[in-house]
Amino acid sequence: MSEHRKISASELKQYKKRSLLSEVWRNYKKNPSAMIALFIVIAIVVIAIVSQFAFDYKADIVQQNVREKFIHPCAEHPFGTDNYGRDVLVRVLYGARYSLSVGVVAVAISCILGVTLGLIAGYYGGFIEDFILRFCEIFTGIPSILMGVALISAFGQSIIVLMMAIGLVYTPMYCRTTRAAVMPVRDEEYIEAARIAGVSDLKIMFSHVMPNALSPIIVQVTMGVASAILTASSLSFLGLGVPIPLPEWGAMLSEGREFMRDHMYLTIFPGLAIMITVLSFNLMGDGLRDALDPKLKE
Amino acid sequence: MAENLLEVRHLTKYFKTKRGMLHAVDDISFDLEKGKTLGLVGESGCGKSTTGRTILRLIEPTSGEILFEGRDVKKMSKRQLKEARKDMQLIFQDPYSSLDPRKTVNQIISEPIIANRILTNKDEIHERVAELMSIVGLAPRLFNTYPHELDGGRRQRIGIARALAMNPKFIVCDEPVSALDVSIQAQILNLLDELQEEMGLTYIFITHDLSVVNHFADEIAVMYLGKIVEKAPAEELFDHPLHPYTKALLSAIPIPDLSERKERIIIRGEITSPIEPPDECRFFKRCPHACEACRKTPQLEEAAPGHLVACARYKELEA
Amino acid sequence: MEKELILEIKDLVVRFETADGVVHAVNGLDLKIEKGRSIGLVGETGAGKTTTALSMLRLVPDPPGVVECEKLELSGRDVLSMSVSELEEVRGKDISMIFQDPMTALNPVFTVGEQIAESIQIHEKVSSQEAEKRAKEMLELVGIPGERAGEYPHQFSGGMKQRVVIAIALACHPKLLIADEPTTALDVTIQAQVLDLMRRLKEQYETSLIMITHDLGIVAEICDDVAVMYAGKIIEIGTLRDIFNKAKHPYTEGLFNSIPNIHDRKAKLTPIQGLMPDPTNLPEGCAFEPRCPYACEGCKKEQALLQISDTHFVRCSRYLEEGFHIERKEKE
């Protein structure tokens, strides 16, 4: 047993490290509906970016052209035109950036706040945990729409306020998901092992606890984008979200509602856009959960 | 005269529960000589794991002294403790939950080296990890694998390599083989044995399996509900058990040998609750020999040189 | 002399078809159990012990499990062709199983009495009063006072819960009891109680018993026969005396050498080298060949079960050679 052969660092280089990410991707690829969803999400992101350059905001999006109002879908206007004669297809395409950015930014806000609070609550437990949890409970007691309405009426109607309002509304959810994910990890023996190895608390939290609690959070994030888009649309539908001429999908739905009886397409297309986006994000979340979970069970 | 590496004096750990104080470890004392192995044996809930973790101060003791090389672990500051833990390590029972599933073998073994800044050069760290892997018998090709790709025996070897990373003097082995198959168990036990010989390690070996500890320990302490009820050199304990609980425990081991059919002592009765236990022998309710004299907590007394027992009636029972 | 056959299995094959490949869990297993006999199924993790037991009850999850079997008869009735309702009748009445973990085998929202009575009422037409009375009797039989029938599982200790599980399993006096590591979750002193109880009940009711375990000590306590499994095959089978005193297979020898000897404390353990083969990729011949100190060219071929004596069989082709023997000494 004492004939340990000295192994040089260069010799060790041949044993490549395989990242867990590639394994997750391998699992994810096996799920066809999640793959379709991923392509749709990528397409929407591409549309949101390209529409910035392809269309001129003034000329194509808000410019009124009353002579061409209420043209039903045809070759020239595949989605028809609205009550001001604006092309609905162009507006729907251009609107992708609002829905997406509201979704992503709102989730980022709630994620940063919620995950930090949840991590602290889950890792330290005791009094701090109680305090954070009670705070979350009070917050969840208020209906999310009501909360949004209150914040928007207090701070005025703008897309930034909308993002922050939605972000705040969803914070408790992230906080709880994170705490629930952290708690079982906290009691694992490898945390104890790290402590006895002399690793600091902060390092343990970020290099051991976080990575092992991450998968439910990632899933929550993808699903969260979907619900944030939905909430933004509902608020816009109520006239509280994005200010009027902006072609946010919820706002377009709300505008089209007046003419629903005769010009149904005005509500169908933005509605479909919301539906497809939300569905794609949800399916992607499902796929991610399946791809992340089996590894953890072992 | 061999020096004591570890001296534990009146170590006590109570946990607060809704129904009162749970006496997990109740006033235990022992010494451990350098290079020796103490077997800590008992059934689930007897406080043996708590004892091991309290000595390393992973759990704060309620009272008592833990002298490691003459210095009290209980009184150490955070920095002193970090320094001391280079010398005192822990090997865990469960080779599954004790390794972070998101880390590679290399990352796991190098963690203590990096955290304590023993080495800072990346290549040196890698070489040290490879050396440790070779010491515990892991092939270098496993350098960048993840624990879930390996079987229980190899995972346990990773845990041992991690514990050895800082050249400790003392290791608490908390049931290191009970989660493993018999053929793998023997491999790990042999490894621990060889390591002790080569590096002069001192072990506390916590287990519920008397046959394992017999093979391994120089001295054995039997615990029951937070108390040491008997402590003796391994051979002495197996040949002349004095405490009724030790006797029952020894007779309960199923022996894989047909020539040794033996009389079995089946103990019955309720286990005394560890929450606010009354002042009587902890084994009172299950002991076949319990009498009025046992209504007072017995103290450890020396029955033979080096053989301590906490039983009010051991002398009569011997006779 | 032939006693009534309770269970007969011929050429049982179980594999799990997973995304990462086909796991060959059981590969051609033959087993016969007579009335009142008890057999120990010994082997390490992944040897296919539990899968074998589950396929006797047709409980192997499908998919991914695929069970193929030439013959699987329970006291003369073909289990393979049974309908779901027939199976439900057989499970619990003719064949019962005790699982490893008593903590999860009981339903926390029913009293233990109700749970025993339930299994009686499923299989026998008795009134609920009668079932309750029998439940109490069963509890007393396993050494728990009958009055405790009205208590919930969490009010019992681990050993007592396992005794309740045994009471449920035995409530309808099954012909065959399968115990899958029934004492691994228990402390040694409690284990001694449970084993003692099982031995008494087995004698009282002439129940046949399959004891699945990795602990040869337990086998020595309670079994008449022993079958040693490795990589989904029985590699050695015989009476307790055959296996413990005259072990033939190198793997059986390795198992015995791995166990710490309680009397010879400084004896060095001689573990089996290497690891269990990957069940998705088993070697062609003897599965133990890569780890076997006695391996030779002939071991790379499929191994047949050789008869050594009336009761003793071993799957090792080296016994075809004159004078081959393993190092472990025979005892008498």
Condensed to tens digits (0 to 9), the pLDDT of residues A272-295 reads: 998 999 899 889 888 888 887 655
DSSP H or E segment with residue B304 = strand B301-304
Q: For residue B46, which residues of chain C lie inside 8 Å, CB to CB?
A: none
Q: What is d(CA A121, CA A128) in angstroms, rounded to the nearest whole number? A: 6
Q: Is any Cβ of chain C less than 8 angstroms from the Cβ of B128?
A: no
Q: Is any Cβ of chain B less than 8 angstroms from the Cβ of C157?
A: yes
Asked if residue B271 has pLDDT above 50, the reply is yes
The answer to whether C259 touches C266, Cβ cutoff 8 Å, is no
By C-alpha distance, the chain A residue nearest B136 is A1
- What is the band of B6 on the pLDDT scale with cuts at 50, 70, 90? very high
Q: Which residue among B58, B142, B143 sits closest to A192, beta carbon to beta carbon? A: B58
Radius of gyration of chain C (CA): 21
One-letter amino acid at C59 equals L
Q: Is there a contact between C220 and B256 if contact means CB atoms under 8 Å apart? A: yes
Q: What is d(CA B3, CA A196) in angstroms, rounded to the nearest whole number? A: 25
* CA–CA min distance C296, chain B (Å): 22
Q: What is d(CA A38, CA A97) in angstroms, rounded to the nearest whole number? A: 17
- Could you tell me which chains touch chain A, where touching means 3 or more CB pairs under 8 A? B
The stretches of chain C forming alpha helices (DSSP H) are 49-56, 84-93, 102-105, 112-123, 128-141, 158-170, 188-205, 216-222, 240-246, 250-258
Position B308 scores a pLDDT of 92
Q: Is there a contact between B102 and A212 if contact means CB atoms under 8 Å apart? A: yes
The answer to whether C308 touches C321, Cβ cutoff 8 Å, is no
Q: Is any Cβ of chain B less than 8 angstroms from the Cβ of C217?
A: yes
* CA–CA min distance A188, chain B (Å): 6
Question: Which tokens sit at C2?
Answer: 């032939």
Q: For residue A199, which residues of chain B lie inside 8 Å, CB to CB?
A: 111-112, 115
Q: Is there a contact between B184 and C254 if contact means CB atoms under 8 Å apart? A: no
Q: What is d(CA A203, CA A210) in angstroms, rounded to the nearest whole number? A: 10
By C-alpha distance, the chain A residue nearest B162 is A197
Condensed to tens digits (0 to 9), the pLDDT of residues B184-201 reads: 888 888 899 999 999 999
List the CATH code of the domain at A78-297.
Answer: 1.10.3720.10
Q: What is d(CA A247, CA A233) in angstroms, rounded to the nearest whole number? A: 11
Position C174 scores a pLDDT of 85
Residue B270 DSSP label: P
Q: How many CB atoms lie within 10 A of CB A76?
A: 10
Q: What is d(CA B217, CA B173) in angstroms, rounded to the nearest whole number? A: 12
Determine if the peptide bond prior to B305 is cis (ω within 30°).
no
Cβ neighbours for B79, distance < 8 A, ≥ 6 positions apart: none
Q: Which residue among B183, B216, B255 sits closest to C262, beta carbon to beta carbon? A: B255
Give the residue extent of every domain in chain B.
4-87+172-181+201-318
Enter the pTM of the model: 0.80
ipTM for the complex shown: 0.81
* CA–CA min distance B185, chain A (Å): 18
Cβ neighbours for B102, distance < 8 A, ≥ 6 positions apart: A20, A208, A211, A212, B146
- Could you tell me which chains touch chain C, where touching means 3 or more CB pairs under 8 A? B
DSSP string, A3-67: -PPP--HHHHTTSPPPPHHHHHHHHHHT-HHHHHHHHHHHHHHHHHHHHHHHS-IIIIII---GG
Condensed to tens digits (0 to 9), the pLDDT of residues B220-253 reads: 999 998 899 999 998 889 888 999 999 888 888 8
Position C1 scores a pLDDT of 45
Position A1 scores a pLDDT of 41
- Could you tell me which chains touch chain B, where touching means 3 or more CB pairs under 8 A? A, C
Q: For residue A206, which residues of chain B lie inside 8 Å, CB to CB?
A: none
SS3 state at C275: coil
Cα–Cα nearest to B13, from B74, B86, B94: B74
* CA–CA min distance C220, chain B (Å): 6
Q: For residue B262, which residues of chain C lie inside 8 Å, CB to CB?
A: none
Q: For residue B102, which residues of chain A lie inside 8 Å, CB to CB?
A: 20, 208, 211-212
Asked if residue C42 has pLDDT above 80, the reply is yes
Q: Which of A6, A15, A20, A217 to mutate to test the interface with B (most CBs of B within 10 A)?
A: A15
The answer to whether B258 touches B75, Cβ cutoff 8 Å, is no
Q: Is any Cβ of chain B less than 8 angstroms from the Cβ of C184?
A: no
End-to-end Cα distance, chain A: 32
Longest Cα separation, chain A: 93
Q: Tokens 């709300």 map to which residue?
A: A254
The answer to whether B235 touches B221, Cβ cutoff 8 Å, is no
CA B216-B218-B224 angle, to 5 degrees, is 85
Question: Which tokens sit at B212?
Answer: 């394992």
Q: For residue C255, which residues of chain B lie inside 8 Å, CB to CB?
A: 182-183
Low-confidence ranges of chain A (pLDDT < 70): 1-6, 293-298
Lowest mean pLDDT among A241-245, B75-79, B166-170, C288-292: A241-245
Q: What is d(CA A214, CA A208) in angstroms, rounded to the nearest whole number? A: 10
Q: Is there a contact between B126 and A12 if contact means CB atoms under 8 Å apart? A: yes
Say if residue C287 is exposed, middle or buried (CB neighbours under 10 Å; 0-12, 13-18, 19+): buried
Q: Is there a contact between C189 and B210 if contact means CB atoms under 8 Å apart? A: no
List the CATH code of the domain at B4-87+172-181+201-318.
Answer: 3.40.50.300
One-letter amino acid at A106 equals A
Q: Is any Cβ of chain C less than 8 angstroms from the Cβ of B263?
A: no
Condensed to tens digits (0 to 9), the pLDDT of residues C102-141 reads: 777 888 888 888 988 988 888 888 888 888 888 888 888 7
Condensed to tens digits (0 to 9), the pLDDT of residues C250-280 reads: 999 888 888 877 666 666 778 888 777 888 8
Q: Is there a contact between B186 and C257 if contact means CB atoms under 8 Å apart? A: yes
For residues B87-92, average pLDDT: 92
The answer to whether C232 touches C27, Cβ cutoff 8 Å, is yes
Phi and psi torsions of C292, nearest 5°: -85, 130
Lowest mean pLDDT among A135-139, B27-31, B259-263, B264-268: B259-263
* CA–CA min distance B120, chain A (Å): 14
Q: For residue B89, which residues of chain A lie inside 8 Å, CB to CB?
A: 196
* CA–CA min distance B238, chain C (Å): 8
Q: How many CB atoms lie within 10 A of CB B131?
A: 17
CA C310 to chain CA centroid, Å, is 22
Q: Is any Cβ of chain C less than 8 angstroms from the Cβ of B252?
A: yes
* CA–CA min distance C331, chain B (Å): 9
Position A162 scores a pLDDT of 84
Q: Which residue among B98, B127, B194 sits closest to A1, beta carbon to beta carbon? A: B194
The stretches of chain A forming alpha helices (DSSP H) are 9-12, 20-29, 32-54, 88-124, 126-141, 144-155, 159-186, 189-196, 201-204, 210-237, 249-257, 265-297
* CA–CA min distance A138, chain B (Å): 27
The answer to whether C139 touches C148, Cβ cutoff 8 Å, is yes
**Is beta strand B71-72 parallel, antiparallel or unpaired with respect to B63-68?**
antiparallel
Q: For helices C158-170 and C128-141, give the axis angle rounded to 10 degrees.
A: 130
Most confident of A15-19, C34-38, C86-90: C34-38
Residue B112 DSSP label: H
- Compute CA distances A8 → A185, B109, B160, C145, whole Å: 35, 17, 22, 67
Condensed to tens digits (0 to 9), the pLDDT of residues C155-170 reads: 887 778 888 888 888 8
Q: Which of C187, C216, C235 to mutate to test the interface with B (most CBs of B within 10 A)?
A: C187
- Considering chain B, what is the average pLDDT of its residues? 87
Q: Which of A5, A6, A12, A200 to mutate to test the interface with B (most CBs of B within 10 A)?
A: A12
One-letter amino acid at C108 equals P
The answer to whether C186 touches C158, Cβ cutoff 8 Å, is yes
Q: Is there a contact between C193 and B254 if contact means CB atoms under 8 Å apart? A: no
Cα–Cα nearest to A99, from A253, A217, A219: A253
Q: Is there a contact between A193 and B90 if contact means CB atoms under 8 Å apart? A: yes
